[in-house]
């Protein structure tokens, strides 16, 4: 049981916790029993050469050993979609998924607000007018990001400068000792969904301002935080070449600001697109830059990874319920086939159907036999009890 497969991670749970849940299921199953037994024996042998470790300690470590597992690209807790998982020797293949393959995301965002994190879990930095934004503007703006471009990672990320996480500089309002290292990314395609473009008929509620200790909206201070607002806006190399070749206008775009008394409506317009991007691309940053390019701002409210390399939702991707609700004598063979072919020819739904048709009748027959055996045991116990009762003497017989 070595290789790579993909599983759907729901929103609301971290990638680390989700992978831990999968690992626990595999470790307790008979599907991985032989592999785990070999791994434990190998651990005992390897640690046995260490004279500092007692046999009891070695045995304890071996008993607690779990199926080796890892994932090829974190999804934020609010994000859902494909999580590529390496099992056993398959963990050595994960570097490709972490840094080399293309990924496709379906993204929804609301226009008019920027946040510290670039998504709905952050605090509001700015609120900007949206009345000037048209569908034509959105479609034309998407073209500016397709191709090779530079991107500044979000300030609220785990990246570090001088050993200190970026988000700590942001929270403290301290200017960075040097600019965040810009990364080269590639956006192969951005498909703007037209059906709900700029629609206000959606389920997402507008973020509300949080108040500071003085009772003032926090964005009054955050808007002037240099760490949150000094990253340049980049367009693709291909777009800039077109601008130069066709002598198009490329004026610097500044987000519009509200006049006194103006404010955002209760329902903000929706931006919904699917983008194919290289590894290392931050969709939150792409959303933020998209909003700025429209002369406003934007923050992400939904993110689904729909494809990663050869893994595609609705085709060769498992769900956690496949491992919790199905008999392991069914999901075990299906998983084995996917691990062996790397997902290239696999359709998980079809494999489950085929395997269930072969194995489920045997499982049902087994249940019938076990039920019959159980009934026979109960009958035997009753006969034995009746026999013992019949042999008991009355009090007069005892006398």
Return the active site residues.
76
Distance of alpha carbon 118 from the chain centroid: 17
Give the phi and the psi of residue 93 in degrees, each rounded to 5.
Answer: -90, -5
Which of 78, 106, 24 is closest to 314 using CA atoms?
Answer: 106
Distance in angstroms (rounded) separating the CA atoms of residues 105 and 276: 7
Are the CB atoms for 99 and 279 separated by under 8 Å? yes
Are the CB atoms for 149 and 236 separated by under 8 Å? yes
Residue 80 forms beta bridges with which residues?
A: 304
Can you state the angle between helices 135-143 and 283-293, rounded to 10 degrees?
A: 130
Structural tokens at position 205: 């509620």
Give the phi and the psi of residue 39 in degrees, each rounded to 5.
Answer: -65, -40
Q: Which residues of 302-341 are buried (b: 16+ CB within 10 A; e: fewer)?
A: bbbbbbbbbbebeebbbebebbeebebbbbbbbbebbbee
Burial (0-12, 13-18, 19+ Cβ within 10 Å), 352: middle
Distance of alpha carbon 120 from the chain centroid: 16
- In 22-123 the beta strands, taken as DSSP E runs, fall at 69-71, 80-87, 102-111, 113-115
Are the CB atoms for 360 and 328 separated by under 8 Å? no
In 3-state terms, what secondary structure has residue 164? strand
Distance in angstroms (rounded) separating the CA atoms of residues 397 and 399: 5
How many Å from the N-terminal Cα to the C-terminal Cα in the chain? 72
- In the chain the beta strands, taken as DSSP E runs, fall at 3-9, 69-71, 80-87, 102-111, 113-115, 124-127, 147-151, 160-161, 164-165, 183-192, 270-278, 298-308, 311-312, 317-318
């Amino acid at each position: 049981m070595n290789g790579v497969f993909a599983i759907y991670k729901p929103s609301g749970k971290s990638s680390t916790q989700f992978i831990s849940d999968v690992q626990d299921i595999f470790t307790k199953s008979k599907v991985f029993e032989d592999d785990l037994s070999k791994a434990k024996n190998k651990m005992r042998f390897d640690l046995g050469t260490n004279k500092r470790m007692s046999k009891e300690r070695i045995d304890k470590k071996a008993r607690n050993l779990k199926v080796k597992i890892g994932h090829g690209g974190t999804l934020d807790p609010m994000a859902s979609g494909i999580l590529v998982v390496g099992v056993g020797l398959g963990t050595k293949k994960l570097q490709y998924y972490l840094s080399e393959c293309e990924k496709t995301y379906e993204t929804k965002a609301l226009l008019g607000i920027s946040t510290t994190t670039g998504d709905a879990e952050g605090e509001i930095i700015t609120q900007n007018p949206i009345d000037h934004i048209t569908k034509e503007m959105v479609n034309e703006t998407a073209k500016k990001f397709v191709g090779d471009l530079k991107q500044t990672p979000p300030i609220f990320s785990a990246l570090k400068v001088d050993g200190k996480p970026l988000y700590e500089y942001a929270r403290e309002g301290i200017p960075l000792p040097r600019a965040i290292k810009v990364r080269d990314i590639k956006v192969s395609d951005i498909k703007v969904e037209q059906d709900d473009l700029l629609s206000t008929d959606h389920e997402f509620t507008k973020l509300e301002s949080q108040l500071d200790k003085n009772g003032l909206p926090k964005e009054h201070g955050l808007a002037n935080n240099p760490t949150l607002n000094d990253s340049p806006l980049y367009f693709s190399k291909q777009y800039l070449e077109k601008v130069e070749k066709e002598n198009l206008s490329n004026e610097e775009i500044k987000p519009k600001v509200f006049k006194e008394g103006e404010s955002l409506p209760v329902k903000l317009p929706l931006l919904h697109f699917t983008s194919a991007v290289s590894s290392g691309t931050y969709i939150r940053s792409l959303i933020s830059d998209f909003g700025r390019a429209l002369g406003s701002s934007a923050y992400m409210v939904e993110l689904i990874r729909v494809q990663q390399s050869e893994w595609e939702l609705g085709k060769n991707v498992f769900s956690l319920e496949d491992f919790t609700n199905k008999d392991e004598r069914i999901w075990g063979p299906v998983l084995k086939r996917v691990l062996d072919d790397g997902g290239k020819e696999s359709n998980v739904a079809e494999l489950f159907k085929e395997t269930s048709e072969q194995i489920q009748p045997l499982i049902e027959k087994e249940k019938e036999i076990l039920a019959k055996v159980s009934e026979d045991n109960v009958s035997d116990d009753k006969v034995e009890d009746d026999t013992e009762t019949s042999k008991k003497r009355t009090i007069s017989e005892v006398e």
